[in-house]
Structure 1
Amino acid sequence: MTDKDNALFSTIRQPPNLRSNLADTLAAQIESGDLKPGQRLPTEQAIMAASGVSRTIVREALATLRAKGLITTHQGLGAFVSDDPTPRSFSIIPNDLQSIDEVLRVLELRMGVEYGAAGLAALRRTQEDIDRMQDRLDALDRALEEGGYGAEEDYAFHRSILVATQNSYYGRLFDTFGNIMVPRQWARLDKMTAAERKRHAARMRREHHAIFTAIRDGNEAAARRAIRSHLSKSAARFEELRGATDLS
């Protein structure tokens, strides 16, 4: 491996998510043209030696790039930069959410999108939209009451808000994410006591009902406040979880 190749990998940060950092570094090199279309990537062993990560991490990073269409692999030949490495669409895949830091970044993105959407939904919602949101909210309530994560129901409720904007691009954007926008693997309900789970469910219901009520009543400012409060509190809970994880 050349000195230039080693330099390409020197910016990889080790903690907290090795796979994500390696994938991000390689993606940046592809998008900047440092790694050119059709160019063969260094071998797994060479990447391991340059970056100091394990073979498993290297393979997971390459799988992420392949899923995004940035590289192709050929049996016995290795990995190559795609002839057209420009991503055709933005996406978040499950492997992108392997650390709390990544979850927090997604929440920041959601806040930017949903803050605007909630206000538009309050102004433009139809009775059909209200009925749809009520149905999704009822399903979420049932899931939480039964002690579940409610990730799919949570996603469906938030998507119904985007649909109520009457701007199809909002819904299409959310569809590129799917329900991984609600990262159930970090909820850690299994580590909560019965009382903690009950408080968690009550808090979730209260926050979602506040959003729904504001949109139903056509209160644009209240709808924006409610969605911002909900997502900010979610971010704060993940920050607390990160702190507890760092201390463990």
Structure 2
Amino acid sequence: MNLNDPVELAKLLEALLLAHNQPLTIERIVALFEEDEKLTTNQIKAALTALAESCQGRAYELKEVASGYRLQVHSSFSPWVSRLWEEKPQRYSRALLETLALVAYRQPVTRGEIEDIRGVAVNSQIIKTLQERDWIRVVGYKDVPGKPAMLATTKAFLDYFNLKSLEELPTLSSIKPVQEELPVLVDELTMALEQQPALTEPVIKQEQEKSFKELLDEWDDLEEGVKTDFSDLIVVKPEIPE
């Protein structure tokens, strides 16, 4: 095999992505080659471009998400492919989906701030479930009395909703539209999650991850401003007894 040929290399990358059940980064792909097969990042990118072009008109596509590149069934086939899985997807409560939406759009956000927007207390089990699902994580602690934990979304959240980065999220102009549009968002999320089959590990990963843009395309009052840099957060280290 001529690894210097982008078309030949694209076939090899297709095999690697088909064999792996998780996205692969360019760095991870480069590391798979021996010293005498040494490839550059640009060669891998050129091969990925060739692979994406070869997928045009096929039932699957090359998709870049937060964790890297993956091959997945095209979303247009999702209604039929989902019938292969008899197990119903997990149901999530309206309160959990509201909490997830607020973390996604107001991050980093504290539990108290979520409660202020929703107008009701957030059950601890909701936060625990979202953390176990690896959709949210603690990114720091707010510099106010009590040092409340600040929550933000994870790479797994971006992967699940077919997003490369937070910049791809539609953004909101203020807290008020969030309160007004929250019921619409939750209805859209609920419908999408109910249509998704149970998690599996097919050779070509089924596209059960709906685009977050598709779920929120009816939202109004959008503007730029999603926070993606958490370097200004204050992290409180636990005190070690002497």
- TM-score scaled by length of structure 1: 0.32
Q: Which has the higher strand share?
A: 2
- TM-score scaled by length of structure 2: 0.33
Identify which of structures 1 and 2 has the higher relative contact order when contacts are C-alpha pairs closer than 8 Å and 6+ apart: 2
